[in-house]
Structure 1
Amino acid sequence: MKLDDGIAPAKGPAIPECVPQQELPAHVWLDKQFRACLARATGGLSVISASMAGLDWALQLGISPAKLMQAWQVWLRQSIEDSPRLLPTTSEPPSVPQSDQRFAHPGWRDWPYRCWRDAFMRSEVFWETLTQDIDGLSRHHQHIVSFCARQWLDLAAPGNAWWMNPEVTSVASRTLGSNFLRGFHHWLEDIGEWLSELPASPPARPVLEYLPGRDVAVTPGKVVFRNALIELIEYAPLTDTVWREPVLIVPSWIMRYYILDLKPEDSLVRHMVERGHTVFMISWKNPDASARDFGLNTYLESGLFAALDAVLARCDGAPIHAAGYCLGGTLLATGAATLARDAGGGPLGSLTLFAAETDFHDPGELGLFIDKSSLATLDALMWSQGFLDGPQMKSAFQMLNARDLIWSRAMSEYLLGQRLRANDLISWNRDATRLPYRLHSECLHKLFLGNELATGKLCVGGRPVALSDLDLPLFVVGTEHDHVSPWRSVYKLHLLTQAELTFLLTSGGHNAGIVSEPGHPRRRYRVHTRHAGTPYLSPDQFLSRSTYHEGSWWPAWQQWLAARSSGRCVREPLPSGSPEAPGTYVLEA
């Protein structure tokens, strides 16, 4: 492995040579190509899986006449209750609840808009009743049917039609329709960007409002180690002395690392460095088809373990406070269990997981796409490309929250003609990455479908690893409105280890809940520590017994790390010949 000049090498395995794609029998090759073409047409979704769920639902509902009667009774009762508001002369009382932000505009209280709103909301309740709690319907099929019904209802929402939306008609009247001209211009711009992201086109980075190294990812530091998979950034100290134990952050490979180093006022990295912590950050290389055979073991050996070796060399062997975000946290937990199995814990002093699942039995709405049929379809798509492309992955996440990420945005930008004001987090979200075929396939099959990490079946180095071997302090962060890693699923780590575990539940979602800088309005969190060997508390018991705090959770984590550090020291300066942060990998398309 050749390192760039000025970057100190560290012990760690080299990236294995890329294994050429094996020749497949003609009939297998043909089947995979057919599945891949179908996957491209459906955005990677399995038509068979959705069809089987729909058929199961229809058959089970067909033999549940009482369920049908219940749905119609609810619809009829609500229709009678809403009937007085059908008259133009009737004024809607201000006490009518407006909990749905789609109908928060005052114009929805006026006739005839309130009639369309009420009819739509009755339809939502009707279909929710028809897709929930049906005897004999499998849980997975129920989730798929409910999800599909929600997608169609969101598409048919009256707010998506300009003549049925009082806010749009008001703006159109005031601007003489110029909002539609601006919206059409925005639509043409988005179509051009979408065409540039097609898999057949050369990889191109979207135009970002906040550029790494200029607007974000500007905390001073240097790249102190590089191989073909990672760049390791060490951030320059901003205090005269630092805590002896360094902090290594392992972001997920499905995101650019600088979500944790956005603008200086939004940067978790800067927050920690300003408080005397030596922070290291892994920056994953954005893979192409040549990395198709990089799997979990590759990311462990040449990613996590190589970074740990480099941090040890830089910090004179001091124990490391390791933190992982999302799947980076899952990788870190797997690596920590491996080190506990082989080296009694190895170099780790503590383990922190940000919105990271270790038990995938209930993976949230991502589970909609996780069954054998869906994975066979997605596998064929990745096999033909060598990777899962960023726009393909982004489309799947947008579908999970289509109401906010698709229809609300479309109404604002295309009907009102108002571009959403970009911020550093929105800009980062557009900066998509790719996933190697083998890594993504192994994660889906071994973690999401097989749940092998939680059940002790996941093998590293030919032997299984168990999270029950972990015997070091744990700090685990969950977020209240997480569609990717539901906090109750993250909480299940309590069942997998008896080590001391501090669990913190913060407001926000998967990204905005973690980027929770001090001073951010309306932030809050709950925290509770389960000491080693003490009885298990259920999630509901945690909610009742945890301590409530207003504000950001960042200071609580920093104080937790400081309490588990052995004192302060003077850190040697960064290598003078090393490249400046943010490095080169984060700048590649």
Structure 2
Amino acid sequence: MAGQSANGGDNAFPFAPANLADMQHWTGVIGRLQQMMLEHAAGAMDAAAQAGEAMAHPPQAALLADPARIGGAQADFWNDSLRLWQRFLAPAGAASEPSQADKDRRFAAAIWRDNPLFDLIRQSYLLIADHMLKGVDALDGLEPRQRDQLRFATQAFVDAVSPSNFAFTNPQVIEKAIETNGASLMKGLEHMLADLEKGQLTHTDPNAFELGRNIAATPGKVVHETPLYQLIQYMPTTGKVLETPLIIFPPWINRFYILDLNPEKSFVRWAVEQGLSVFVVSWKSADESLAGTTMDDYVLKGMLDAIDTVRAALDVESVHAIGYCVAGTNLAALLAYLAATDAAGKVASATFFTAQVDFSRAGDLNLFVDDGQLELIGQLAGDKGYLDGRFMALTFNLLRGRDLIWSYVVNNYLLGQEYPPFDLLYWNGDTTNLPYAWHRVYLEDLYRDNKLVRPGAIAVGGVPIDLTTVTTPAYVQAGREDHIAPPASVWKITEHFAGPLRFVLAGSGHIAGVVNPPSSGKYQYWTGPAKAASLDDFLAAATETKGSWWPDWIAWLRAFGTGEVPAKGARIPGKGRLKAIEDAPGRYVRMR
């Protein structure tokens, strides 16, 4: 079909309405799409009502009991719809102010606006999506958790049915297919079939990186190994190093090299350059041999064993420790255990990267912790005793489905674009398996029941622990846009620890907020008073500093002792009591 653009000029796009019959046909199609989405919304409300039958005021009954509310919602929807159709049928007389659709990255290409049919499609979609989400917010009688779950599910649905996700409603896909004589669709199908075979969405070129060569390449040696972890010691680059070494505990749900992506982004390399003796734990991806692994194993046979190994190898009384994400949660438990066993002196300071100890405000991940989800996790683990890492990867991707799922469906499958070489996305797809027994307890006892902040509710090595007894100096970093460990949740560490504490809020999220080297000149961070009643109070009095928070951290760390020793002997990997087993990054990080 040939057609005219909205301004009357020639429109080279072949799928524009050419005449009144075409216009009538496509308006009918769009109307039917609106009806289908509204029918789904009604179904979602019915499901919510059924879920609330045990409550005194079921949500749908509460909504239906207020005719004014229904009438207002319907009037808003139809008024917005009329304005939309007016824009479509009489574009010259429509309001020219920017719409929400013009700000949506999914519809950034000019063709979404210039072609009247696809302009209607995007505007209609966003109108219905907005009213579906408003409908969830308007429901009465829902528990806060139920409302959050329904809103999350509704948001996931509207993201999934975006017209940008389907070949025949995405003009960019149609254009690309025509330009390439269908080659883009063939390439996209190749990508999709390859991902189906491996059971995981590909985000970047899997052949662009090689561990130890251009990623996880900071020089070092594996100097200690247990069935649970390998300990990597990195080669010093300064003549002298701080006497107190640094040991980093990454989360076992990810590979450790998020902190060693490349020379420019590597926190590990940067810390070595600051004159620190740096050790990193590389956790083993779970298999049948780790099926019975518990919290005690990660805390005592993992973290404490690594700390004692480094202390003995370097003949020092204490270490500086960093715990990232869930490893920070376990580091908090370890500190409480050390306090209870009169061994707190083993850790001179503790740093927490986007870590939570109080899960009362844990964000959207809490929506995945209910009896049904826990039963599903058990089924996925089966008799193996461990959970396939691809499940956790999917869970995290679902938290940002528009960015981490659907944008790649469009680019990889529909447009058939080649994968870009991106180290962060390579790491994101390099999943690790999780011990099922410990992961389920972690979700139940910490996320669901929030036991870690209840004194004595959790025991480590048979010793009841209490976070309020922790007096170890702590540096707590949170990401302002973190969707995995929300800053309000990370902040709550300050309400439980009893020792000196510095809280720093970094710009960006769970990864970029941490992996932000000074050389990048990106983002900012906020520091504030040592004591504040809430995160809001902290922000009200906080000072913003442009750039990376890493220099603030190293200055804080040096305040706990500036004594230095020559970088020789045991400070060289493999030259002391701990003999080199293999080159970094080791074989555990390569296990799948």
- 1:274 and 1:158 mapped to 2: Cα distance? 49
Query: For each residue in 1:555-582, what CA deviation from the matched residue of structure 2 results, as whole angstroms up to 9, or x when unmatched?
Result: 2212221232332221323224512211
Spell out the pairing of 1:182-197 with structure 2 (5 A cutoff): 182-194=187-199
Q: Distance in 2 between matches of 1:349 and 1:133?
A: 51
Specify the alignment match of 1:486 in structure 2: 486
The amino acid of 1:147's aligned partner reads F
Q: Secondary structure at the match of 2:358?
A: coil
Look up the SS of the partner of 1:421 in the other structure. Answer: coil
Matches within 5 A, 1:518-557: 518-520=518-520, 522-530=522-530, 534=531, 536-557=532-553
User: Among 68, 76, 90, which residue is 2:78 paired with?
Assistant: 76
Contact 1:75 1:125 in 2 (8 A): no
1:291 and 1:574 map into 2 onto residues whose CA distance is: 28
1:117-167 CA-to-partner distances (Å, cap 9, x unmatched) read 111111122111111253321122112211221122112111112332233
1:301 partner SS: helix
Q: Is the 8 A contact 1:57 1:145 kept in 2?
A: no
| Contact residue 186 and residue 417 of structure 1 kept, 8 A | yes
Q: Secondary structure at the match of 1:264?
A: coil
> Residue 566 of structure 1 aligns with which residue?
562
8 A Cα contact 1:244 1:318, kept in partner: no
Comparing 313-322 and 248-257, the one that deviates more? 313-322
Q: What is the TM-score when the length of structure 1 is the normalising length?
A: 0.85
Contact 2:253 2:434 in 1 (8 A): yes
Partner amino acid for 1:468?
T
AA matched with 1:553: W
The answer to whether structure 1 residue 113 and structure 2 residue 118 are counterparts is yes
Q: Which residue of 1 aligns with 2:180?
A: 175
How far apart are the structure 2 equivalents of 1:461 and 1:193?
Answer: 39
Whole-Å separation in 2 of the counterparts to 1:129 and 1:96: 18
After superposition, residues 217-256 of structure 1 pair within 5 angstroms as 217-256=216-255
Say if 2:46 and 2:60, in contact at 8 Å, map to a contact too.
no
Q: Report the counterpart of residue 147 of structure 1 in structure 2.
A: 152
Change (3 A) 1:513 1:529: same
Look up the SS of the partner of 1:385 in the other structure. Answer: coil
Q: How far off its partner does 1:446 sit?
A: 1.2
Question: In 2, Cα distance between the equivalents of 1:78 and 1:505?
Answer: 40
Cα drift, residue 207 of structure 1: 4.8
Q: What residue ranges of structure 2 are gaps of 5+ in the alignment?
A: 1-44
Partner of 1:461 in structure 2? 461
Classify 1:348/1:181 alpha carbon distance in 2 versus 1 (closer, same or farther; 3 Å). same
Distance 1:446 1:195, change over 3 A: closer
Provide the rounded CA distance (Å) in 1 between the counterparts of 2:233 and 2:459: 31
- Cα deviation, 1:536-558, whole Å, max 9, x if unaligned, reads 33111222211112212222212
Note if contact 2:335-2:472 (Cα within 8 Å) is conserved in structure 1.
no
Is 1:511 aligned with 2:531? no
Match of 1:46 in 2: none
CA contact (8 A) 2:239 2:566 kept: yes
Cα gap change, 1:345 to 1:529, in 2 (>3 Å): farther
| Alignment RMSD | 2.4
Q: Separation in 2 of the partners of 1:190 and 1:159?
A: 20
2:133 aligns with 128
Q: Alpha-carbon deviation of 1:196?
A: 12
Report which stretch shifted further, 413-422 or 321-330. 413-422
Aligned to 1:202: none
Structure 1 moving runs of 4+ over 6 Å = none
Cα distance in structure 1, aligned partners of 2:75 and 2:463? 57
- Shift of the 52–343 alpha-carbon distance from structure 1 to 2, 3 Å rule, reads farther
Pair 337,286 (structure 1): closer, same or farther in 2 beyond 3 Å = same
Q: CA deviation at 1:354?
A: 0.5
Q: Which residue of 1 aligns with 2:338?
A: 339
The separation in 2 between residues aligned to 1:112 and 1:522, in whole angstroms, is 40
Counterparts in 2 of 1:103 and 1:92: CA distance versus 1, 3 Å: farther
Partners of 1:510 and 1:555 in 2: how far apart?
Answer: 19
Secondary structure of 1:343 counterpart: coil
Query: What displacement does 1:352 show?
Result: 0.6
CA deviation string 1:436-471 (max 9, x = no partner): 122112111111111111122111122321111111
Select which of 562, 567, 585 maps to 2:588: 585
Aligned partner of residue 477 in structure 2, secondary structure? strand
What is the aligned partner in structure 2 of residue 17 from structure 1? none
Alignment equivalent of 1:161, drawn from 166, 185, 192: 166
Match of 1:278 in 2: 277
Secondary structure of the residue that 2:544 maps to in structure 1? Answer: strand
- Larger RCO, structure (CA 8 Å, separation 6 or more): 1
**Is residue 62–residue 141 contact of structure 2 (8 Å, CA) maintained in 1?**
no
Q: For each residue in 1:418-443, what CA deviation from the matched residue of structure 2 results, as whole angstroms up to 9, or x when unmatched?
A: 13413111111111111112211211
| Contact 1:92–1:109 (CA under 8 A) maintained in structure 2 | no
**Letter in structure 2 aligned against 1:82:** L
Deviation sequence 1:489-535 (CA, Å, 0-9, x none): 111111112322211122222122221122336422212241xxx4x
State the Cα distance separating 1:292 from its structure 2 match: 1.1
Aligned to 2:63: 64
CA distance in 2, matches of 1:356, 1:482: 11
Conserved in 2, the CA contact under 8 Å of 1:61 and 1:68?
no
Inter-CA distance 454–569: structure 2 relative to 1 (3 Å threshold): same
Determine if contact 2:521/2:548 at 8 Å carries over to the other structure.
no
Cα distance, 1:361 vs structure 2: 1.5
Greater shift after overlay, 489-498 or 567-576?
Answer: 567-576
Distance 2:379 2:165 in 1: 35
Residue 329 of structure 1 and its aligned partner are, at CA, apart by: 0.6
Do the aligned partners of 1:501 and 1:529 also contact (CA within 8 Å) in 2? Answer: no
The total of aligned residue pairs comes to 528
8 Å CA contact 1:500, 1:529 repeated in 2: no
2:347 & 2:146 partners in 1: Cα distance?
42
Distance in 2 between the 1:442 and 1:52 partners? 30
Separation (CA, whole Å) in 1 of partners of 2:135 and 2:348: 51
Paired position in structure 2 for 1:365: 364
Partner of 1:93: 96
- Percentage of identical aligned residues: 34
Query: Match for 2:556: what amino acid?
Result: W
Instruction: State the distance in 2 between where 1:351 and 1:267 align.
Output: 20
* Counterpart-to-counterpart distance in 2, 1:305 and 1:567: 24
- Between the aligned partners of 2:473 and 2:103, the Cα distance in structure 1 is 41
SS in 2 for 1:356: coil
Q: Which amino acid aligns with 1:366?
A: L
Q: Aligned residue for 1:421?
A: 420
Deviation at 1:270, TM superposition (A): 0.2
**What residue in structure 2 maps to residue 394 of structure 1?**
393
Task: Kindly indicate whether the alpha-carbon contact (under 8 Å) linking 1:237 and 1:277 is maintained by their aligned counterparts in 2.
Answer: yes
Following superposition, the deviation at residue 52 of structure 1 comes to 7.4
Q: Over residues 13-66 of structure 1, what are the superposed CA-to-partner deviations in whole Å (9 max), with x where a residue is unaligned?
A: xxxxxxxxxxxxxxxxxxxxxxxxxxxxxxxxxxxxx99756236941233133
